[in-house]
Amino acid sequence: YLCSLLGEQVPPTGLPTNEVYNRFVKVLDSKPRMLIIVLDEIDALVRKQGSDVLYNLTRMELENAKMSFIGISNDATLKDLLDPRVRSSLSQEEIVFPPYDALQLRDILWKRAEIAFSKGVVDEVIISKCAAYSASVDGDARKALDLLRIAGELAERENANSIREEHLNEAIKKMETDSVLEIVRKLTKHSLLVLYSTILLSKLRDVLTTGNVYSFYCKLCENIGLNPLTQRRVSDLLDELDVLGLIKAEVISKGRYGRTREISLSIKGEILDKICDLTKEVFGI
């Protein structure tokens, strides 16, 4: 594609990668010019293709032309993914953009709403509430737009003439449910089984301890033919689930009886059934 932009045609049948690269360098350096390449979501490129593409770009030998590139990423650990050779030759300058605030999100939402919705379908109250909620969570404009879209779809299903607050509230619940499920889908099998054990035990006991969860987890492992982890490792997994906001693991003092850790769920409602269904699907229970 870059070759064609510079006037160098590549046969439809294709060429070896090295030949395409050499042609690109030759046509780029054929006269004085400045080429700036912008790579959006550069972390996805690095994860899929490795650092070779960036290495070739940073080590390009040019006499007449100059070349620079801008990489855009939401991943703060991007540099850790790069080959040391690439990091040494980048000479990069980092520019960090803070999350959008409520006012900025409101402006973005209004511009998109004027295109997406008929006049009168959405008003200032809905836009402001949508912007305020999204800013309080993470300031992600894409998620804010998704939230408004889902609210609009809910209103449409009811044949409503406009988006009301109840539609937006329902959209918020749906997005929160979807985000929790996305986190759960990325859990390892043992972490998922520990969470599943906690959910099932919570239906039987008011107070859970690490020992309770571990015993139940071991029984589930035996039933499905999975080798259980040690109690210390399961305790670590409970800490990780706590950090993810799926459970609460609090150390409680029992006075002269010492201290114990009480486990409880941070998530409630129908999402628990969806997590159970997902777990059963994964393990064939």
Strand spans (E) along 200-257: 208-209, 247-253
Asked whether residue 126 carries a pLDDT value surpassing 70, the answer given is yes
Lowest mean pLDDT among 22-36, 81-95, 181-195: 81-95
Longest dimension (CA), the chain: 82
Domain 187-283 has CATH 3.40.640.10: no
Q: What is the mean pLDDT of the chain?
A: 87
What pLDDT is stored for residue 258 in this prediction? 62
Half-sphere CA count of 222, side-chain side, radius 13 A = 6
- Per-residue pLDDT, averaged over 19-44, amounts to 87
Specify the CATH class of 102-180 in words.
mainly alpha
**Which is nearest to 21 in space by CA: 36, 8, 38, 39?**
8
Asked whether the CA dihedral 93, 98, 103, 107 is positive or negative, the reply is positive
pLDDT tens for 205-235 read: 888 999 999 999 999 999 999 999 999 999 9
Position 163 pLDDT exceeds 80: yes
**Model pTM?**
0.54
**Token pair for 93:** 């300058």
Per-residue pLDDT reduced to its tens digit, 143-156: 899 999 999 999 99
Q: What is the pLDDT of residues 165-196, one digit of tens each?
A: 999 999 998 887 778 888 899 999 999 999 99
**From CA 253, how far away is CA 250, in angstroms rounded?**
10
The domain segmentation of the chain, as residue ranges, is: 2-90, 102-180, 187-283
Domains 102-180 and 187-283 share a fold: no
User: Which residues is 34 bridged to in the sheet?
Assistant: 66
Q: In terms of Cα–Cα distance, which of 253, 269, 109 is closest to 177? A: 269
At 78 the pLDDT is 77
> Helix or strand or coil: residue 120?
coil
Provide the CATH topology of domain 2-90.
Rossmann fold (3.40.50)
Quick one: CA dihedral 214, 217, 223, 229, positive or negative?
negative
Q: With H, G, I as helix, E, B as strand and everything else as coil, classify residue 156.
A: helix
Under 8 Å between Cβ of 40 and 6: no
118: CB partners within 8 A, 6+ apart: none
pLDDT band at 251 (very low <50, low <70, confident <90, very high): confident
